[in-house]
Structure 1
C-alpha cells in the first residue's frame, strides 16, 4: 500500500502534479550498520502555533544535513507555511513569526512536499524529537495524506546516554549547548535551532564512536537499553 493511500478524515485537496510528487517520494531507508561518518541525516526543528499536538499547526520548518561526518551548509531547508486561519497567540512571543509572515508563507502542500523531497530516504534527528515527529506526521497526514515512517532520533536522549558525566537530567537544548560551549545565533528560530542541534549531534556522534556506537542502528540499540534502565530507576 502506498503511503498516499493512508488517509483519514477528508481527502486532501491536491493537484495532479502534487499527487504525482507524493507518489514518487522515496521510501524511508531502514537503519543499518552504515558508519556515522558516512550517514546522511537530516536535523529538523519546527516552530508551531502552540504545544497542543492535536490542534496546533506547524508554522515553519528549518532543517540542515549532516553528511560525511560534517554539516553540509549547501543542503539547508527553510520555509514558513501559509496559514490563513492562524490566530495570534502567546506563541508569537517565542517564535517571533508575525501574522503577515505567516499569511505570506508557502502553501502547506507545497512546503511539505518540498521538505519531503529534501529529506529523501534519510533518517531525522531533532531535540525533543517526539514533539517534532508528532507535529510533522500530523501535518503530512492532513495535508498530503502521507504517513511518515522515517526513523527519528532524539538528541535529548542521545546526550545523557553518551555523556552521563554531565549529570544533566531531562535537560533542554540550552542546557546542552551551555555544557559544550556552543554559540546559538537565535533561539526559537527553526533554522538556527536546527543548526545548533546539528552541531550538538556532531559532538554526540564523536562520543558515540568512542563508545563503539558507530552507526545509527547501534545507537538505536543503545538507546533501547538506556530507556529500559531509565524506566527501571523510575519505579
Structure 2
C-alpha cells in the first residue's frame, strides 16, 4: 500500500474500486531545481460552506494547470461534491451553489479521487493557500483516509515578496486582480477563481525568474527568508 494511504482502513469505508484507485495515487513530488518554465503546478480554488476549517464542508473544487510556462486550458478540473443534509447558510450568497447543485454533486470519495488523479504528484498554488490546504486535507482524511503531503504555494505570500513596489503586503485577491488589470468572469466561482489565480501565478513565476529564482525550491527558500524578516511596526 502507498505509505500516504495508511489511514484508510481507520477513517473511510471505500469500495474495492475506490481503494484500488487510492493505492495507485502517485506520491507527492519533492521540491527540486526543475526550471520554473518546465514545472507543472496545479492552481486550485475551493468553495466551502463557511470559513470554519474544523466544521464547515468542502462544496466544490476548481483547478487549472500551469505547465511549460503557460496556463494549459486543456487541463482543467471542476467538481461539486454531494453533501447530504446540506443546510443553506449565508455562504450561498458568496459561492452561489444552490442546494439542487449540491444534491446532484459527485459522491465525495469519488470527487476527491478524481481531483487527486488530476493533481498527480504536482505542487499546488492557491490564494490564501493555508485555508485551502486545511480544508482539502480534512476532506481527504474524512472521505479517503488520505494524508495530503503535496507542497502548497500561496500567491498571497508570493505577490508581496516579488512585487514589493506594489505596497500590497496584506492585500486580498481582488486587490491584486485590480493591480495587474486582470479580468475575472465570476468571483467566488471555484473554476473562475482558479483561472485568475493562475494568471497571477504566471506573473509571479515570471517575476521570480527575473529575480534569479528559477525553481520552486529556490522560491521556497526565499519565502522562508522573507517570512523571518524583521517587520516594521507603526505606532
Deviation at 1:4, TM superposition (A): 1.6
1:49-106 CA deviation, whole Å, 9 max, x = no partner? 0000000000000000000000000000000000012110000000000000000000
1:22-75 CA distances to partner (integer Å, 9 max, x unpaired)? 111000000000010000000000000000000000000000000000000000
Structure 1 unpaired stretches of 5+? none
Give 2:108's aligned residue. Answer: 108
By how many angstroms is 1:234 displaced?
A: 5.8
**Distance in 2 separating the partners of 1:191 and 1:200:** 14
Aligned to 1:23: 23
Q: Who is 2:199 aligned against? A: 199
**Which residue matches 1:4?**
5
CA shift, 1:3, in A, is 1.7
Counterpart-to-counterpart distance in 1, 2:222 and 2:7: 32
Structure 2 CA distance, aligned partners of 1:3 and 1:146? 6
Q: 3-state DSSP class of the match of 1:52?
A: coil
What is the TM-score when the length of structure 1 is the normalising length?
A: 0.96
Partner of 2:215 in structure 1? 215
Contact 1:43 1:64 in 2 (8 A): yes
Matched, 1:132 2:164: no
Task: Indicate the residue corresponding to 2:53 in structure 1.
Answer: 53
- How do residues 1-235 of structure 1 correspond to structure 2 at under 5 angstroms? 2-6=3-7, 11-229=11-229, 232-233=231-232
Give distance in 2, aligned partners of 1:194 and 1:11. Answer: 29
For 2:40 and 2:34, the matched residues in 1 are separated by 10
Runs of 4+ in 1 over 3 A off after TM superposition: 232-235
What is the TM-score of this pair, normalised by structure 2? 0.96
Work out whether residues 126 and 153 of structure 2, in 8 Å CA contact, stay in contact via their aligned partners in 1: yes
Q: Which runs of 5+ in 2 are unaligned?
A: none
